[in-house]
Amino acid sequence: MDRDLQSIQEARDLARRSKEAQRAFEEFSQEAVDRIVEAVAKKALENAEYLAKLAIEETKLGVYEDKITKNRFAAEFTYNYIRDLKTVGFIKEDREKGIYEIAEPAGAIAAIIPTTNPTSTVIHNALIALKARCTIVFSPHPRAQKCSYETAKLLEEAARGAGAPPDTIQCLTIITAEGTDALMRHPDIDLILATGGTALVKKAYSVGKPAIGVGPGNVPAYIERSANVEQAVRNIIASKTFDNGVVCASEQAVIVDRVISDRVRNEFIRQNCYFMTREETKKVESILFSPKGLPSPDIVGQPAPFIARKAGIEVPPDTKILIAELEDVGENYPLSKEKLSPVLAYYEVEDWREGCELCIKMLEFGGLGHTLVIHSENEEIIREFALKKPAFRILVNTGGTHGAIGYSTNLPPSMTLGCGTWGGGITSDNVTPMHLIQIKRLAYPVRDVAPSPRIQDGRSAVEIAHLRHSEPIRTPERTLSEEEIEKIVREFLTERFRK
């Protein structure tokens, strides 16, 4: 059998088994579900280093230590957040209003996994699916198939060991576009959870079944004149260099008030960042993107010195970020879009109003609905940014990567970040188990509703409607003959046309 046909057949088999497992799993009690979730989180935490090593070896992207951190975050932070959530049976009771909410699982889920965060996304999505009594089938990126599969296999073993039905967590091993499409379209798949690029998310939504898609970011970081410059630069560097910039919430540009630009520039240089000349910027542009305009697979997740060497420019070996000074945003300025590597655009603006407009322009150029960062001590300006920007995560005085996923903030911990309708998605939230359950409502009466007296007296609905707008209808004393009706109609039409 050809590889595409093998992949399709595997997708069909896994989808059927997932649905069978889900039918059994949805009968589990809250206690049983929580026991399984705890076991899976513990297994993921115990294997954080092992899975990070697999991801680095297979994808060649990012930083080993940071992948360990992401795996631990996906296991520990996610578990601590979802541990006490009620997701089985009656989850909310309002006796005063007479409404009781009952959780129902979304069903069997197909989850698309990116190459940038494969093991951590599998961990997070498996945990939130299990907490919701859903089963899940992963379709990983071809360059992350082995590490994704090994992660799913370990978590499945932990789930079964804690009492879950077999096949609650599965992963494709033969990865083709045809197989992924067959998985998403299979009638036994109830929901699609797609983490990846714009084309993938659009594909998921085009299948014709419920889908949660999370797209790319093009995150601007605005440093306003009242900001603590040293702290702002330190946070941006920590975020942008984390796993070499592959997290979609990492900063793509720094926008700085001109009055503090020299201070900001000097601070970046002091913290081992490199400002490129115009010629050097052109060289980096030439290697950073594929012919289709997407981040080049050879550059994504690579350190700054590697990118510099590849572009034929010399930088100090301890360089953390390459910075390109740009005049505008758009197709003529390739470094103004998402780069998934430690390369930043740099802009100067006169004030927060100009900074505001430039941030919006960046978000519209590939990051609508995702994330924006502002470094400022001026609460009025911060609130103005929160009100006006087309991003659903407005982060204040923290790094984009760590703030958006809920590591440095109290946002729900998640590796799956919704962009709302602005970004072509269905949710603007950090995705949690509550997005994978449906709410059934039991409602009791709180007020009596008596039949309308106007209906009881025998009049028709037409008569009642007429009574609302005119004098009462008078019943004629006798019935008109056909000839009389015809004469009345003829006279009416003659008079009408005469007018």
The list of the chain residues with pLDDT below 50 reads 473
What does the DSSP 8-state code read for residue 247? Answer: S
| Cβ-based neighbours of 114, under 8 Å, separated by 6 or more | 121, 141, 144, 195, 196, 197
Q: Provide the β-strand partners of residue 251.
A: 219
Sign of CA dihedral 64, 70, 73, 79: negative
Q: At what angle do helices 30-46 and 145-161 cross, to 10 degrees?
A: 140
Distance in angstroms (rounded) separating the CA atoms of residues 145 and 151: 10
CATH class of 3-215+432-442: alpha beta
Task: Mark whether 134 is an active-site residue.
Answer: no
pLDDT in tens, 22-47: 999 999 999 999 999 999 999 999 99
The residue ranges of every structural domain in the chain are 3-215+432-442, 219-411, 454-498
Q: CA 496: distance to chain centroid?
A: 62
pLDDT of residue 192: 97
Among 248, 273, 356, 419, the one annotated catalytic: 248
Residues in the chain: 499
Tokens of 300: 């994504």
What DSSP letter does each residue of 174-199 carry, written as one string? S--HHHHHHHHH-TT--EEEEES-HH
d(CA 132, CA 129): 5
Give how far the C-alpha of residue 422 lies from the chain's centroid of Cα atoms, to the nearest Å: 12
Strand order in the sheet with 191-195: 169-171, 135-140, 108-113, 191-195, 211-214
Are 56 and 62 spatial neighbours (Cβ–Cβ below 8 Å)? yes
Q: What is the largest CA-CA distance in the chain?
A: 106
Bridge partner residues of 439 (DSSP)? 103
What is residue 331's predicted lDDT score, i.e. its pLDDT?
93
Question: Residue 299 has what pLDDT?
Answer: 95
Q: Tell me how far apart the alpha carbons of residues 127 and 37 are, in angstroms, rounded to a whole number.
A: 6
Report the C-alpha gap between 122 and 111 in whole angstroms: 9
Question: For residue range 62-104, what is the model confidence (pLDDT) as tens digits?
Answer: 999 999 999 999 999 999 999 999 999 999 999 999 999 999 9
Q: Name the CATH code of domain 219-411 (choices 3.40.50.150, 3.30.365.10, 3.90.1410.10, 3.40.309.10).
A: 3.40.309.10
Rg (CA), the chain: 29
* pLDDT value, residue 464: 58
pTM: 0.89
The answer to whether residues 323 and 344 touch, using CB atoms and an 8 Å cutoff, is yes
Element (H, E) at 118: helix 118-131
